[in-house]
């Protein structure tokens, strides 16, 4: 990407609830030990993304461009109703998309939030990074910005996602004027979903991107962690990159992407850095979201360091997509608790 020069399974249930993660002091540590291996790590819906991103990286494509091309597969896939086209809408039936990205070599970042009518918010976030002196654009301004670069405004609801919203709306209140869905038609759960992708090339250049349609049926204008630099994703080209999927509000308050990279800066392996961040998430969880002392939600972190070591961890067992430069596959995350509360 050409930019202007000026601008393992781990179970720690017994000690997690009481664990305190001490924030490290900023250190100039740079991870350079050992040979650098190209690698990509992503959420479980990102296996096609890591395969595509690694293919491009090995051809010499810039890491951010490769990552964007990877996540666009899900953004354009109408069957993935947590990302881009076909994403589940807010409570008014409007799809609002969030995305952010960071380019390690130039230390630049870009983001969009509550973007409507544009299928690939990751591309718009990259334009914010590349051509503006801002980091984030939101709402109508973000859409006008995208349209000025030739993006086409489109209806992002698919027949499936629209029907899911209609069924949710009909059952949201016992005393409203909508007829409930028949008992033999199960209501959809309230999905959360995102794709995060972190990439390092053979030269140790790192980028990250996160994109989402956010929490289904959300209050209009709600933005989760995905467009927040330092939460939904974060890159330090001297250290590594990390990102997250799951309950965005929990990640925002923990600054999870940043905290995970700081863990790697202190020498933690990627998986261990993810686990440490999860302990902070648990520590910060308000009582109303705890069941038997454990969070009622799941959240996963994904990380890669400058050497190409990668890992992932979640509160409860999950899977993630990884590519070690040779093969891409789904793997099991490390986790704090063996099952949901």
The DSSP code for 60 is: T
Inter-CA distances, 199 with 40, 66, 186, 209, Å: 4, 8, 39, 9
Are the beta carbons of 194 and 211 closer than 8 angstroms? yes
Q: Which long-range contacts (CB under 8 A, 24 or more apart) does 139-145 make?
A: 139/113, 139/114, 139/115, 139/221, 142/112, 142/113, 142/114, 142/115, 143/115, 143/116, 143/117, 143/118, 145/112
Are the beta carbons of 36 and 203 closer than 8 angstroms? yes
9 carries an active-site annotation = no
Taking residue 306's Cβ as centre, other Cβ atoms within 10 Å add up to 23
List 314's β-bridge partners, or say none. Answer: 300, 335
Q: Which of 192, 194, 211, 245 is catalytic?
A: 194
Tell me the two tokens of residue 150.
Answer: 């030739």
Are the beta carbons of 125 and 108 closer than 8 angstroms? no
- Active centre residues (catalytic): 194
């Amino acid at each position: 990407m050409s930019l202007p020069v000026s601008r393992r399974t781990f179970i720690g249930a017994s000690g997690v609830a009481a664990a305190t993660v001490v924030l490290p002091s900023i250190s100039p540590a740079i991870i350079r030990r050992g040979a650098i291996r190209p690698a990509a790590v992503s959420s479980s819906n990102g296996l096609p993304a890591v395969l595509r991103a690694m293919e491009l990286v090995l051809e010499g494509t810039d890491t951010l461009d490769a990552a964007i091309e990877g996540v666009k597969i899900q953004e354009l896939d109408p069957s993935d109703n947590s990302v881009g086209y076909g994403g589940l809408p807010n409570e008014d039936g409007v799809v609002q998309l969030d995305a952010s990205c960071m380019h390690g070599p130039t230390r630049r970042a870009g983001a969009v939030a509550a973007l409507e009518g544009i299928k690939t918010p990751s591309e718009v976030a990259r334009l914010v990074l590349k051509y503006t002196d801002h980091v984030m654009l939101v709402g109508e301004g973000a859409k006008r910005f995208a349209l000025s670069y030739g993006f086409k405004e489109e209806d992002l609801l698919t027949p499936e996602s629209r029907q899911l919203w209609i069924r949710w709306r009909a059952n949201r209140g016992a005393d409203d004027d909508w007829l409930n869905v028949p008992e033999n038609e199960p209501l959809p759960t309230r999905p959360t979903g995102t794709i995060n992708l972190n990439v390092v090339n053979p030269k140790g250049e790192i980028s990250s991107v996160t994109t989402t349609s956010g929490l289904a049926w959300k209050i209009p204008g709600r933005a989760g962690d995905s467009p927040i630099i330092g939460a939904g994703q974060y890159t330090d080209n001297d250290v590594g990159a990390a990102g997250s999927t799951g309950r965005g509000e929990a990640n925002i308050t923990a600054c999870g992407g940043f905290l995970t990279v700081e863990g790697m800066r202190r020498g933690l392996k990627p998986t261990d850095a993810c686990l440490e961040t999860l302990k902070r998430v648990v520590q910060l969880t308000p009582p109303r979201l705890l069941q038997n002392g454990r969070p009622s939600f799941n959240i996963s972190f994904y990380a890669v360091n400058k050497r190409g070591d990668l890992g992932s961890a979640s509160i409860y067992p999950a899977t993630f997509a990884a590519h070690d430069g040779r093969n891409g596959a789904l793997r099991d995350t490390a986790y704090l608790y063996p099952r949901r509360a």
